[in-house]
């Protein structure tokens, strides 16, 4: 066996280099058990813990990258939605304007329709009045014999004479001139001369009854003859019929 002489620290290093087994023994003497097992533990950690952990981290990084892409896509979608919302707002604003225009058009149409209704009602009323006047003998013949219509010119002369004679006022004259029809004849039941003062309306209401009554009283004074108010219509309101009974106005 070779004799080894150690006189300095470097000699120890040289010996350990030449004898690897001594290095292990030296290491066991110098290092604690914990430090000696550290390489093994580290290898275990790398193999069993670090590698799986790195895989998880890599997976997380991959997922994060995917999430970033998804977020970017969502941002783009949000931007597109914002643009769509802006377009919708503009469309809604246009629709509101269109609706407003339609409302105005509908309002105008309603007014036009109402005007047409009034015109049609007026035409119906005028047509009905003309029919009654033209066929006065037929309508008033239910009450009179020798029925004659007092024309406008004849009525004006009679009323003017009555104004001059202080029998009626100018206001009453003007009111009577608006009467729809005036006829005279003999009552069928009594043979008495009578004047019928007629208000004509498709639908007879209270105002028609009141006008017929008032104007018949004025004409009675103007003619010095009995005059009866008459309302002629296709129908009459219940209230108007009641008032006609109270005022002794005839209903045809």
Residues 177 and 163 sit within 8 Å (Cβ to Cβ):
no
pLDDT at 42: 67
For residue 150, pLDDT over 50 is answered with yes
Q: How does 2-30 read in b/e, with b if 16+ C-beta sit within 10 Å?
A: eeeeeeeeeeeeeebeeeeeeeeeeeeee
**Residues 120-138 pLDDT 10s:** 455 455 666 666 666 777 7
pLDDT at 122: 52
**Residues 165-176 pLDDT 10s:** 988 889 988 988
pTM of the model: 0.51
Q: What is the spatial distance between Cα 147 and Cα 187, in angstroms, rounded to a whole number?
A: 10
Q: Which CATH number does 136-251 carry?
A: 3.40.1350
Average pLDDT over residues 144-164: 85
Measuring CA to CA, which residue among 205, 211, 198 is closest to residue 242?
205
Q: What is the spatial distance between Cα 146 and Cα 186, in angstroms, rounded to a whole number?
A: 7
Report the share of the chain in percent with pLDDT over 70: 77
pLDDT band at residue 37 under the 50/70/90 scheme: low
Residues 207 and 159 sit within 8 Å (Cβ to Cβ):
no
pLDDT at 119: 46
pLDDT band at residue 4 under the 50/70/90 scheme: low
Q: What is the spatial distance between Cα 133 and Cα 189, in angstroms, rounded to a whole number?
A: 23
> To the nearest whole number, what is the mean pLDDT of the chain?
79
Average pLDDT over residues 169-187: 87
pLDDT band at residue 203 under the 50/70/90 scheme: confident
């Amino acid at each position: 066996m070779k004799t080894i002489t150690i006189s300095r620290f470097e000699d120890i290093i040289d010996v350990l280099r030449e004898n690897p087994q001594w290095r292990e023994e030296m290491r066991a003497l110098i290092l604690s058990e914990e430090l000696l097992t550290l390489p093994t533990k580290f290898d275990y950690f790398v193999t069993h813990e670090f590698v799986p952990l790195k895989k998880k981290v890599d997976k997380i990084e991959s997922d994060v990258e995917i999430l970033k892409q998804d977020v970017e896509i969502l941002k783009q979608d949000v931007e597109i939605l914002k643009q769509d919302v802006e377009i919708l707002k503009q469309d809604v604003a246009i629709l509101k304007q269109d609706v407003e225009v339609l409302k105005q058009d509908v309002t105008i149409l309603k007014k036009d329709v109402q005007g047409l209704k009034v015109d049609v009602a007026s035409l119906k009323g005028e047509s009905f009045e003309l029919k009654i006047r033209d066929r006065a003998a037929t309508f008033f013949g239910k009450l009179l014999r020798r029925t004659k219509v007092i024309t406008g010119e004849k009525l004006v002369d009679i009323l003017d004479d009555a104004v001059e004679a202080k029998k009626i006022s100018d206001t009453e004259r003007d009111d009577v001139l608006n009467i729809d029809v005036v006829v005279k004849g003999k009552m069928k039941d009594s043979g008495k001369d009578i004047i019928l003062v007629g208000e004509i309306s498709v639908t007879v209401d209270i105002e028609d009854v009141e006008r017929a009554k008032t104007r018949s009283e004025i004409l009675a004074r103007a003619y010095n003859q009995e005059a009866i108010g008459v309302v002629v219509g296709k129908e009459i309101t219940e209230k108007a019929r009641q008032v006609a009974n109270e005022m002794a106005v005839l209903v045809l």
